[in-house]
A = this chain, B = another copy of it.
Amino acid sequence: MEMKVTTEWQGKRHFLSTGESGHTVAMDAKAEVGGEDKGCRPMELLLMGLTGCTGIDIAMILERMRQPLAALTIEAVGTRREQYPQALTEIHLYYRVTGDVQADKVWRAIVLSEEKYCSASASLRAQITPHLILNGQEVPRPAGLTAGADPLV
């Protein structure tokens, strides 16, 4: 399976990138390295793509499980190397879920995304650790949790 994006330089450190979906994203550097902040830092896009990829998984899986989400916010906190190249080495994903949903089902959805579906997660070298905050309370990952039966198949 192939995918392609095309990215055009706009002068200085500014780039516009378009993928096969047809949507365009602006990227730019900060002023310290000659940029003008006309778009995202490129490294932000890696974390954004990760949250969107696992977010779509979670939305789909919980829908199939008939667990009604009221709200879902995913924060990704990445640690990067201090030396060049400043690669992402560790990422914590905070899934903030609101709704009348069962904690064990949300954890199963997270584990299914992590272990089976999330293409972005499997494309990154960083160690990725999920956390669930359900209706404002952190819910630890159940010991020995496996994804179990997959509601998407």
Contact = CB atoms under 8 A, between A and B. Distances in A.
Contact of A56 (B15, B46, B117, B126): B15
Interface in A5-52: 5-9, 12-13, 15, 17, 19-21, 23, 25-27, 29-30, 33-35, 37, 39-52
Given A19-B41, A60-B13, A48 B87 contact: no
With most chain B CB atoms within 10 A of its CB, the pick from A23, A86, A121 is A23
A33 B13 contact: no
Contacts of A50: 42
Q: Is the interface of A mostly helix, strand, loop or mixed?
A: mixed
Interface string A52-85: 1101100110010000010111111111111011
Contacts of A35: 56
A48 B1 contact: no
State the number of copies, please: 2
B124 A4 contact: no
A145 interface: no
A120 interface: yes
Interface residues of A, number: 75
Contacts of A49: 27, 42-46, 49
Contacts of A47: 3-5, 19
Contact of A33 (B26, B34, B39, B56): B56
